[in-house]
Amino acid sequence: MKAARLHARRDIRVEDVPEPSPGPGQVKLRNAFAGICGSDLHVYFEPELVGYGLAPHPLTGAMPPQILGHEFSGTVVELGAGVGSVRVGDRAAVYPTYSCGTCAACLAGQVNACRLIGFHGLTSDGGGMAEYTTVTADRLHVLPAEVDLRMGALVEPMAVAWHAVAKSRVRPGQAALIAGAGPIGLGLWFALRARGVERVLLSEPSAARREVARALGAVTVSPVTDDLPGAVASLTRGGGVDVAFDAAGVAPAFAAAVGSLVPGGRCVIVAMHERGLDFNPSLLVGGETELIGSLAYLPGDFVAVIAAMAAGHYHAEGWIEVAPIDDVVAAIGRLSQGQAMKILIEVA
């Protein structure tokens, strides 16, 4: 079967590999679409900076070459022994994370914060950028008729944003600021709207990304050329937002997010920061500001996103592109240069 495999830094090859067979408790999927994630860009351009491939993964034992694709959807084509929870023909999104089950985070129910966390399609055998893969049946989230396979591949990144919005404890009628209009920033916007939060301001320096967000219906502002504090004041009648999200991962965005809050407001950091911040925690004291980190998602976030998709709160028009698997390297290059918002690799 055809698969996109990462061999080493800047070395992805679309090549023929053996087709997998499901073991007991597993299902075989004919993959449909797989999203290219920021994590894929990191391991492609700078794997040494994130320690990728230096040793076998402690949970999965995987080493490169690795089939990529941890944001993906597919159709069940074969069942392993003992599988009764899904049927051949079911269409599904795949919950890709592996957790140890024994660390403090796992024992507390925070499997998304497992210290040994792994991802199918990043640090495991198999992945979504291949014609077929096998996973345990409990990883499948069957898609309702209203959610197609293209949207199914977006469940994973949208669950990242949904989890962050849930952690913010935002309520309908409150106001929110999103710093960063990449795929996760747009996912935050979709999630807020789906949860009844109407007053949302999206801050983004890239004119191209602002244009995409505006076409979706978002209210946008440039933190560089516009008056961001004035835009926040206009949105909130002179107050501040109740919650702010750092989906940019740069110091100015974080500072703007914290500075936009009302007393008692909450800032949720979704983005990974490559550089540390020169930050005085006393800035949080005067307003009793909460600072919250949000990592990945839990299975319940997949369920919630799929339900919101079925209810019509998400769509892919205007910000999603589809490319064939043979063009995966070119697609990574376009994303790294800011020439696309989100690209799904079509493998079916």
Whole-prediction pTM: 0.95
Nearest Cα to 154, choosing from 325, 36, 262? 36
Domains and CATH numbers, the chain: 2-154+316-346 (3.90.180.10), 161-293 (3.40.50.720)
pLDDT of residue 49: 66
pLDDT of residue 50: 66
pLDDT < 70 stretches in the chain? 49-50
pLDDT of residue 202: 97
